Structure 1
């Protein structure tokens, strides 16, 4: 509990000091937009958390691999086990197993293991895991080229009299593999080289028998539809960001004219706002491809001689857009609190956002919850002691406790497990919602990636690591497929996405104007900010 007049300086989950102290430790996912360096720093702090940096405790969930049955075996998470046995499977030399689990292999052997034969179809969990992790070692278009070559090789293995029978057995399996690839990793096919290889192989499959023309066409149409929807989403994001930038420009030019409304004047129901935040979260989650988690932290493979190996890889743009949304929401919360001139109004805004955060927690929207807490814990907000003295903070203290970063976010991880279990046994679409604290999810994947080598000392690919990576990403895939059950409110959504937000300097100036500086350092900063910011108006 915060005592009256004490502000919000104690027990803060994310402090500005921590942001500055950890800014040098940034991982590769951050906002690149001009003027958003502060937002990027907030994201870095959240990713790295408070206290010592160590590999995150990984939550492994066996259920719901995308389009796959549960994993057949539970891998030892304690690290790589050296007690390996070479596979006895004929035709797959170079693959190593332990307790019937594939743990390592050469790249060529792993690629061959992906390709169906007349008598073999790869386990679907293997397909997802290999397609997810292979991009660390080979371009997707190069992998597709090799797969196409091996598939065509399979079609030519038998004597002419047996060709038709063999083709009828192998063609549905090859088509199924391509279908799984295009459905789970559609963004790979934005590369024209991928599309050329796909077209070449599907034309060959369709020529085998008339019966395959329809499924080939359905697969191609489904892929085109997914890529079209993605392009439309990206265009919509550009428009939304342009509108937000335009409104910010208007705010700078005519501050008083621009500030005619705030969120409370549009909607004063915390539950409705929490529902609209959930709409935004689920929409942006749904467009993040599983491969973006790998590409966000990709390093050059030491055995790859191609110096430009990663130069043309798809950037993790949808993942970055989602991080940008978190930063925007945090700054929007701080802006809404610092803008009102009257202390009573500021207190009412804080209480409103506390209620919104609580509703987000109840829904299972942990990302918006943490963004709101982060915004309320920014220094320009936390220093408003007179404002905080008017607020009963018991509800906020409970929420902060739930998102406390100590013990590697133990309280949050416990709540997340509860929400995940509720989702599994859900009787309604509302109970299925699980929106993780996204920056912590990235942190977990980052430390998993950094904590284990991609290759073993003998040069073999450490596939045990990639089973664990796939388990983490597959859980996310389940969460992102949930459709939001709440009715959309266009006016609220438009405000949340495009309302002007202050920079850190503008927030400090508004804070000082509301409650004056308390020491010489704050006075000097106030004078400096008034000189620089107000002179631009």
Structure 2
């Protein structure tokens, strides 16, 4: 495959095209990230599955307004050289929690009658704690602390005691289940949740109803996720290679994307529908689980072997690949040069509309498809194309200076989203592989533990700030009406492999040198059984 490399090799270097080597366990799907990734779940309209829009909304992790939770000023690494306040194993500076022992951090998560943890802390610790222990292990510790410290296990305990602490424990469980619902696909998590909830419910009928509602909402979210994965598998199964078309004639294709959707703005809207629905199903924990490695200072067994549940993130990566190859396929398929040129100009207009919407992911996927070698080598075709608009878009997504132009545009879109009065203005769909890259280098550049054995919580504040912004963007409800016919085409129409793209390109505009001629002969023999 051909990949554009969005990974930045250093703070001042430019990104160049090539391959990035990531942790070995990511090689199957995320090891080499494509130019852009995109989201693909208009499955309800495509195959008639899933529930109503209300069900969809309820399936989304109901997080607090993350953008407002984290201070934008960041943290000064030199703070460790200053005098630090010691508070029960937690180290603060200027009221910022910088580090602490794992046990102290767990204690800090658990509420009591007089204390409830800050919501930013809850999100940050639940997100990062999986680097040190499995979620079910953390849940077991939390349950133990709640039961023992609040004496919920004593048979004769005064119900007034339960009434005092129950709302706070229930709130913590609510935030956990709404923000990280996928943790509870583990039966051990669900068992601990139900046991603790049962103790809370014994104190009051109102709490019993609240507990039942919490568990019902969680089960509904998990059921929706299962439906999503099932339908996604069906869609992927219908998307087969388009090589058989080449064995007849390209003219045998009865339709292309323009016949299905002639308006570039409408196609950009449908791509945005796909993006937002796919983003919705990516859990925040997947960003941590995607790049987990054993900390050199951690002598305990690595919990990274659990590398679970990054399926939705990987599906998002795969969708980007599909869109890029779909663009290249649509351009290489037409027999006539003027039709290929028209297709290129069409996708340039679609990309421009994606930029205006704030859908940077689809924008980069389209640019990626048009920059693939089988497309870029069609010199006679490109002479017929008005490329001024394309040049502007490429400038906006220029990888030099660590994607400075794109990052500037993203900040503008994010600011617009904060002050938006409509869903249309709230849309921010980031260049996803660059977001992954930023998180990857944050994880690689900072140790999880300090030399004294404390957890480096300053690192995890920064990690949570980046993920929380994504959480805000993914919850935007798409304002564009879905078009089932267009979505069906985008998600299921067969596309060419890289070899098939080259063959179609050579069939459209013949080889220009001996290397291309030799490759053309090889491809014709391998793919078409011809010499």
The 3-state SS of whatever aligns with 1:22 is coil
**Is the CA contact (8 Å cut-off) linking 2:270 and 2:486 kept in structure 1?**
yes
Which of 67, 70, 75 is the matching residue for 2:68?
A: 70
Matched, 1:103 2:101: no
- Displacement, 1:248? 4.0
Identify the residue that residue 18 of structure 2 maps to in structure 1: 22
CA distance, structure 2, for counterparts of residue 366 and residue 522 of structure 1: 34
Q: Which runs of 5+ in 2 are unaligned?
A: 7-13, 38-61
User: Which of 213, 225, 247 is 1:230 aligned to?
Assistant: 225
1:81 match: secondary structure? helix
> Which residue in the other structure is 1:239 paired with?
234
Partner of 1:53: none
Q: What does 1:38-437 align with in structure 2 at a 5 Å threshold?
A: 41=32, 43-44=33-34, 66=64, 70-71=68-69, 76-79=74-77, 81-83=79-81, 87=85, 89=87, 93-156=88-151, 163-245=158-240, 248=242, 251=245, 259-302=253-296, 307=301, 309-437=303-431
Q: Secondary structure at the match of 2:304?
A: coil
Shift of 1:267: 1.1
SS in 2 for 1:445: helix
Counterpart contact for 2:397–2:406, Cα < 8 Å: yes
Structure 1 portions without partners, runs of 5+: 1-11, 34-38, 48-63
Q: CA shift at 1:251, angstroms?
A: 4.4
- Aligned-residue CA RMSD in angstroms? 2.8
Q: CA deviation at 1:362?
A: 0.5
| Residue 452, structure 1, aligned to residue 450, structure 2 | no
Change (3 A) 1:240 1:45: closer
- The 8 Å contact of residues 84 and 96 in structure 1, kept in 2 or not, is answered as no
Aligned twin of 1:5: none
Output one character per residue of 1:295-320: Cα deviation in whole Å (capped at 9) or x when no partner: 00011245666646333342311000
Deviation string, structure 1 residues 490-513 (Cα, Å, up to 9, x no partner): 010011011111111111111111
Residues 65, 472 of structure 2: 8 Å contact kept: no
In the TM superposition, what is the alpha-carbon distance from 1:414 to its structure 2 partner? 0.7
Q: Give the TM-score normalised by structure 1.
A: 0.87
Query: 1:26-47: CA deviations, max 9, x gaps?
Result: 45686847xxxxx975x35669
| Structure 1 CA distance for aligned equivalents of residues 259 and 204 of structure 2 | 64
Change (3 A) 1:364 1:21: closer
Residue 54 (structure 1) aligns with: none
What's the TM-score once normalised by structure 2's chain length? 0.88
Q: How far did residue 321 of structure 1 move? A: 0.3
Residue 495 in structure 1 maps to residue 489 in structure 2: yes
Give the C-alpha shift of residue 68 in structure 1: 5.8
Contact 2:351 2:366 in 1 (8 A): yes
Rounded Cα–Cα distance in structure 1 between residues aligned with 2:176 and 2:401: 39
Go from structure 1 to structure 2 and tell me whether the alpha carbon gap of 1:40 and 1:20 turns closer, same or farther (over 3 Å shift).
Answer: farther
Distance in 2 of aligned mates of 1:271 and 1:371: 16
The secondary structure found in structure 2 opposite 1:417 is helix
Cα deviation, 1:308-341, whole Å, max 9, x if unaligned, reads 6333342311000001011100000000000001
Residues in 1 aligned to 2:487 and 2:149: alpha-carbon distance in whole angstroms: 53
Distance 1:191 1:409 in 2: 39
Tell me, yes or no, if structure 1 residue 480 matches structure 2 residue 474: yes
